[in-house]
């Protein structure tokens, strides 16, 4: 356990104490500081206080920072594809079929379980350092923080939309050109498992460009400006180009008229949404350098693209 003595300067007179502490402790998130205040780990003259209490200027706050485990997730020896790592971050290439972190019905076998085995110190961080997620059946790049400072910084970058995430997707339909979908997204009022475009939802923007056209399908690049749940899947379905292999937003498998048996088999057997997070760019939390990583499209998507080029050419 680490004990800190923090003097709130006179210039912060009238500020909420949680805000003042956040400014004095820039390496820690506001939510973490609020939790310490509420748990009694932060005291003024041996007395507790509320996060919303205002500073009188020149308070002395005694803070206990306990290095306690932040979750009850178990560590599991599961292979990881590490693209990059240093003392601040880990960049992982997540395979399709792996859940990002434990939840109802998925307590084991997740990326978080694997990360906790790879680096046991991650148990001290919220969500084992994971700052964003990919759907179970979406493959590709994820960044994980290795300390509080990096986690706070990466979360802020996500909130400011300054992290660039580029995806490859294969959709039903022949696209003529790319564009931008700027439609808010919220939970579907008729189906709690799904998300939907809704006027009352949160802002969501997806930019997409054509990589390759086939007669009845299109290979696209999608770049997220925001990061809503299922965003690319929802937006592409909304404009009439759902992802191949997506039963939630694409419905049943669609066979083109006069489709060959080879094409029918390939489409029927592709059993996950054709979506891969292929490129990730961000500002390193410590050095401030812009870093970028790119990973190849996985074999299952390459195979379906080969089949489309052979049996669904323009």
Q: In sequence order, what DSSP letters do the residues of the chain get, joined into one string? A: -EEEEEEPPGGGTTSBHHHHHHHH-TTS-HHHHHHHHHHT-EEETTB---TTPBP-SS-EEEEEE----S--PPP------EEEE-SSEEEEEEPTT--SS-BTTB-SSSHHHHHHHH-GGGGGSGGGGB-S---TT-EEEEEEESSHHHHHHHHHHHHTT-SEEEEEEEEES--SS-EEEE--EEE-TT-TT-EEE-TTSB--EEEEEEEEE-SSEEEEEEEESS--TTHHHHHHHHTT-PBTT-HHHH-SPP--TT--HHHHHHHHH--S--EEEEEEEEE-TTT--EEEEE-PPPHHHHHHHHHHHHHS--
With 0-12 CB in 10 A as exposed, 13-18 as middle and 19+ as buried, what is 14? exposed
**Which residues belong to the active site?**
135
């Amino acid at each position: 356990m680490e004990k800190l003595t923090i003097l709130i300067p006179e210039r912060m007179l009238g500020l909420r104490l949680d805000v003042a502490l956040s400014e004095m402790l820039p390496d820690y998130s506001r939510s973490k500081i609020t939790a310490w205040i509420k748990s009694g780990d932060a005291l003024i003259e041996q007395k507790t206080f509320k996060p919303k209490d205002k500073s009188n200027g020149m308070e002395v706050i005694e803070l206990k920072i306990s290095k306690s485990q932040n979750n009850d997730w178990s560590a599991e020896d599961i292979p990881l594809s590490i693209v990059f790592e240093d003392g601040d971050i880990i960049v992982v290439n997540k395979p399709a079929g792996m859940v990002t972190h434990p939840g109802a019905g998925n307590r084991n076998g997740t990326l978080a379980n694997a990360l906790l085995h790879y680096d046991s110190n991650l148990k001290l961080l919220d969500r084992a350092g994971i700052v964003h997620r990919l759907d179970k059946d979406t493959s590709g790049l994820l960044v994980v923080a290795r300390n509080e400072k990096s986690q706070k910084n990466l979360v802020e970058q996500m909130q400011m939309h300054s992290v660039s995430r580029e995806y490859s997707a294969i959709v039903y339909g022949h696209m003529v050109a790319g564009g931008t979908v700027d439609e808010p997204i919220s939970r579907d009022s008729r189906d709690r498992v799904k998300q939907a475009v809704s006027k009352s939802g949160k802002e969501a923007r997806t930019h997409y460009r054509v990589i390759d056209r086939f007669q009845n399908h299109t290979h696209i690049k999608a770049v997220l400006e925001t990061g809503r749940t299922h965003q690319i899947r929802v937006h592409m379905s909304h404009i009439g180009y759902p992802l191949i292999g997506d039963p939630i937003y694409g419905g049943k498998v669609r066979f083109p008229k006069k489709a060959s048996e080879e094409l029918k088999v390939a489409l029927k057997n592709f059993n996950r949404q054709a979506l891969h997070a292929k490129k990730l760019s961000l500002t390193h939390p410590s050095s401030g350098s812009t870093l970028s990583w790119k990973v190849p499209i996985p074999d299952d998507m390459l195979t379906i693209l080969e089949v489309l080029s052979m049996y669904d050419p323009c």
